Amino acid sequence: MNLNRRQFAAALVTTAATSLPAPAQEPKFDVNVYRDTSKAIPISLSGFTGEVATTLRFDLEVAGCAVVTPEQAQVLIHGTNGARLEGFVSDRAKNYLLSKAYTGANQRQLAHAFADDVIFALTQTRGIARTQVAFKVKAPNNTGEVYVADYDGNGAAAITADRAIIAAPSWGPGSKWLAYTSYKLNNADIFSHNLDTGERHIVARYGGSNLGPSVAPGGRLVAMILSKGGKPDLYVADLQGRGLQQLTHAREGVSSPCWSPDGQTICYVSSDDGPAQLYRIGSNGGTPQRIRTTGVFNATEPDWSPDGKWINFTTQRGGNFEVCIVPAGGGDVQSLATGQDATWAPNSRTLMFCKRGRGGAFSLSLLDVPTKRVKDVPLNLGNCSQPTWAR
Amino acid sequence: MKRSLFLKFAALTLIAVVGSTGCATKKPKSPTPLYGARTSIDNTAGPNTLTNIPPTNPPLEVGTGIPVRPPVVPGVITNPPLLPPTTSTTNGVGSQSGPEIIDGHAADRAIFAASTVYFDYDKAVLKAAELGKLQPVIAALKAAPQNKLRIEGHCDERGTEEYNRALGERRALAIRDFIIRSGKIAPNRVTTTSFGEDKPAELGHDEAAWAKNRRSEIVLLKPQN
C-alpha cells in the first residue's frame, strides 16, 4: 500500500515537474554491493537525539557503516525518538528499505533494536546490537571477577564476588551458563555457573592446574586443559565434569581450546614443536593436525568463527601482539589490528579483543574484520581482558 | 482572464497534493512494532545470586603423574550452599587474615624463598645453574616426611593469558619432575599450580622485571595441628 502511494507520488512528481531540471538518476541501494566487502557503508543519521543518537551511531559504526554528510551518504537514516522510536531508512532515490516504530523498552534498547533492523536491511545479516559479552576484570591486588555486559560495555555487572584470581570465561548453552577458571579454592579449578540461578558446579578440580574451559556449541561438553596427567593436556567432560576424556598426550603442553561451530573439532595451541602453533583434533580424539598459519611464527588463543570459515588468533611479532585470522583449514594469515585474545561475534564479522595500555592494564575494543576499523568499548572498570562473546 | 485564474488555481492544488503525498511517503502512518524491543525488557532476571562455595579438601590420590583431586560429585556444590543458612557469606579464601591454608595444610612461603627458580623467555626448561636451589628443598622433604610441597608457576607479561597459564604450569611441572626423580620423593607429596601472568613479582614492563617474573615459587605445606 505504501509502495503504491509512493509510485503514485513519483508519477505525479514526474508529470507535474517536467519544467524543472531533471534530478540526477540515483541508483537503487543494492545489498550485494556491501556484502562481505572491505568498504564501509556511507550513511547519514538525522533526527535522533541523546542516548538514541549515540547508541545508534556506535552500533552502526561497529557494524561497518561510516557516518558521513547526507550529500555523501548512500543510505539516509532519519527518525525521531520520544516515547517511541520511529526510524526510516532510504537510499538516495528515496526507496525506503525500512520504516518502523519501536516501543516497550528503554531508549538504549529501542536504538539497538532499530540498529539491528538497519543492518539486516543493508546487509541481510543479523545484527549484534543486542548481544552480550563476558570478560575478566582484574583488580590491582591481582584478584578478579567475571563480568557480563552488553556488547557495547553498557550494563556491566559482576557475576562473581570471590575476590580470587579468575580467568578464561566461556559462554555455555543459551547464554545462560558460563564456565571459567577460579582460584577461589586456592587452586586453578574450573567451574560452570548458571547465570539465572547462580548455581555453580565444579567441572574440574584435579591436582595441578585446571585451565581454559571452552563450552562446545550446544553446551553438551567442555574442552579444557588439565595437568593431572603430568603435562597440560586437552580433555573434554560435560558441564558437571562427568565423563572426562583425555584427547591429547603432549610432550610439552597445550593450551587455549576452542570449538568448531559443528562441535566436531577442537582447535588448540601446542608447544610440542617449539613455538606455539595451532592444531585441530576431533572432539572424540584422534590424531592432531597442524593448522598452517603461513606468515607468522607463533599463534595462540584461537577462536573459531560461528560460520565455521575462519579462526582468529593472536601472534607475537617483536614486542607486539597482533589479532589475526586464518582460514579454518589453514593458509595465509591476515593481520587485522594490534591487540590480543579476540572473540567472534555471532555475525562472524565483528571481533572483540583486548589491548594493553601504557600502564600495563588491558582494555576492550571492537574490530570490524572486513574494514579493519577499531572502536574502543567504553568501560570504566579498570583492567579488562579475555572477552568472550555470547552466541 | 477567468480561465487563466482557474488554471493558476488548478496548478496550485496539484502542487499541494504532490507536497502532501510526498510527506506521506517519508513517514508511513502505520509503522510495524518490533518484537525484539518488547521481549528485551521482559528479561529482568538480572544478575544471579552468588553462591559461596564451601572449601573442600578431598583426599589426594596418586594418579599417573600428579596426585588427583577427584572432582566433587555432581550436584554436591550447588546453590544453596551446604553451609548452615546462618553462616556468614564472607569469603574464607583469598581474604583470610590468619596463616594461609592450602589443601588443609599451613603454607610457608618464606622458608624456600631462596629456592625460587627462574626461567628463560617462553621456556619451561630447568636451567642447570638453577638446579642447586632445589637441593635444600629435597633435603627438607626427606627430613620431614609429613610435609608436602606446592610449586607455583609464573610468567612475564609477554604472552597471551591462557598460553601463559599453561606455560607457568609447565614450569612448575618441570621442577616437580626434578624433585620427584632426582630426590626420590613420593609424587603425591608435590602438587603444582600456575598463575600465568596474574601474580607478577615485579610490576615493571622491562627485561629486568620480566626476568624476575618468569619463575616458580616453592611453598612448604605443613599439616595443621
CATH number of the domain residue A88 falls in: 3.30.160
Domain annotation for chain B: domains and CATH numbers: 111-225 (3.30.1330.60)
In this structure, are A119 and A148 located in the same domain?
A: no
Q: What mean pLDDT is predicted for residues A155-175?
A: 92
Domain finish residue from A123, A153, A181: A123
What is the nearest CA distance from A100 to chain B, expressed in angstroms? 5
Does A11 map to a domain?
A: yes
In this structure, are A311 and A333 located in the same domain?
A: yes
pLDDT digits (tens, 9 = 90+) for A182-197: 999 999 999 999 888 8
pLDDT digits (tens, 9 = 90+) for A336-381: 999 999 999 999 999 999 999 888 899 999 999 999 999 999 998 9
Does A128 map to a domain?
A: no
Single pTM value for the model: 0.81
Does A12 map to a domain?
A: yes
> Which residues in chain B show pLDDT less than 70?
1-97
Interface of B with A in 166-185 (CB under 8 A): 166-170, 172-173, 177
Per the structure, the complete domain to which residue A210 belongs is given by 133-389
Q: In this predicted structure, what is the pLDDT of residue A349?
A: 94
Chain B, nearest residue to A99 by Cα: B31
Domain finish residue from A123, A143, A170: A123
Q: In this predicted structure, what is the pLDDT of residue B139?
A: 97
Q: In this predicted structure, what is the pLDDT of residue A23?
A: 47
Chosen from A141, A201, A249, A315 to mutate, greatest number of chain B CBs within 10 A: A201
In this complex, do A229 and B63 lie within 8 Å of one another by their Cβ atoms? yes
CA–CA separation, B155 and B168 (whole Å)? 6
ipTM: 0.90
Chain A, nearest residue to B90 by Cα: A162
Does A153 map to a domain?
A: yes
What is the nearest CA distance from B194 to chain A, expressed in angstroms? 6
CATH number of the domain residue A206 falls in: 2.120.10.30
Q: In this predicted structure, what is the pLDDT of residue A324?
A: 98
How many structural domains is chain A composed of? 2
Q: In this predicted structure, what is the pLDDT of residue B3?
A: 56
